[in-house]
Structure 1
Amino acid sequence: MTSVVHGATGAQGSPVLDALIALGEQPIALSRLGQSIPGANSLAVDATSAEQLTAAYQGADSVFVHLPLGTEETRLEIARAVVTALGEARPGRVVISTSGSIVDAPGTRLQVAPDSALAQLIDGAVATGISTAVVAPRLFLENLLLPHVQAGVREQGVLRYPVRPDFAVSWASHLDVADAIVALLRDPSVTGTVGVGHVPPATGPELAEAFAEAFGTPVSFEQVTPAEFGKSIAPLLGEGPAAGVAGLYTALGAETDFTFAPETGAAARLGVEPRSLVAWLNGLRG
């Protein structure tokens, strides 16, 4: 089986690539620079070029795609190029990650716009007639590893995050998402949207308890405002993306929780369970 992995050196693509290699595959690793990756066939591609993507997809059994951070204009270019390449190369399967954007809550303020790059990517892939599945995580646990968040945990014993203490989230790690993606790449019978994350969801104080257990030191939870959080990540992401993150958490403040129906999740549809919070934290230390 040959799988193409977009963003193969990034946070989402890398664990997918590692898992496929561990299963004995030799996946095709796409990245902007085409860095050499042991066990994979590495290709440098311009993701806005339908011609280059078509060549990369030729002969592939499956393709994993997620849109990178960037301007919506660039994301739209990538979405259109991917859809064109899928239609030309005709792989047997495509799996798309929403990267935390919401596509399965129509009628809510969180749902992405129909003309957004992500919506066009999904609709376009489905329209090709290729077996398509969409992985829909909510919030990534790796957000809790941001330097300023970890500084509070390790130096002050306080986990600071821009959600209410009672706000429950179906958190997922990049490894959890990769497990679901790999299962979907290898099973084209499962289509539609698959939620990835903890069910039941976890609150801020429950996250703090997991940190306390894993680190062996008291950790409490403290809510910060979306504006404060956005300001703290601007040096890492840039002003535009940071403002988008702050906007997401502002919108979440009006919601009761941030989860999905259990029957639509990876555990129910694929038999793939997320790691426990403590297991994930312990895994970070090897």
Structure 2
Amino acid sequence: MKKYLGLMLTVWVLIFSVASFSCDKLPWAKSPLKDADAQFLAGNYEAAISLYQAYLATGPSPDKVALAKNKISECYYNLGEKAFKAGNWQDAINYYQQSENSNAQNKISQAYFNLGEDYFNKGDYQVAIEYYSKSKEPGAQAKIQAAQDAIAAAEAEETKKEEETGGTKTVYVVTQPSSKGSGKETKKSEGEFLIKVATADNLQEAQEKVNAVRQLGIPAYNKKSPGKPNVVFAGPFKTRADAQVALARIHSLGKGYKRAHIVEKGE
């Protein structure tokens, strides 16, 4: 009887030990980390990222956590490389920004420069400048200057054409209010109205004011002539009433916009 009880006790101990043994330690158990590695080696980086993240959720040991996170970082870098080679610069930037690869920041800089090149070649110089400014490539500053020169040349040409084709119709123009009184209303040759929003010492300040006015739903642009400061304009407006409505909204932007005033186009 004692032998029988001893045998039963031994059997129960063995059953309990097997049941308590972690499944992931069994030689035949399927490892989620191995599945993730397989997807990584196959170049299926998005699938690999999902599997590595699922593995991290199981609470593995610290060394395994570090390994999985490093693999996720490399997945994002490799996705960035694929997008970069395809010329999808913005996608590449988004992937590189999620990678801790030591070369990721260099590739982000190159991608921003390439975005600038794309917009420069399209003639969208203002957007090109924004991307060049985010790049640390050696030629970025020279390209910013080239874009600024192109903007200035285009605006000078536009001004020249306006002066050559100016009409002789009748409109009202509101002059800038002085500190002693309100602005005066005078008759001038007819044309369209603009609002001179502000002058700016540098391109960045000018662009900030352009963006602020555009957020009001009012068209705006920066005019830069050689040797002169940046000047932000809003408009054009076909009637004085339209310009006055827009002017009131621009004044509501705050202190830096209180000196905005209406001028005749070409003035």
User: TM-score, normalization: structure 1?
Assistant: 0.21
Q: Which has the higher contact order (CA 8 A, sep 6+)?
A: 1
Q: Which has the higher helix share?
A: 2
TM-score normalized by the length of structure 2? 0.22
Pair member with larger Rg: 2
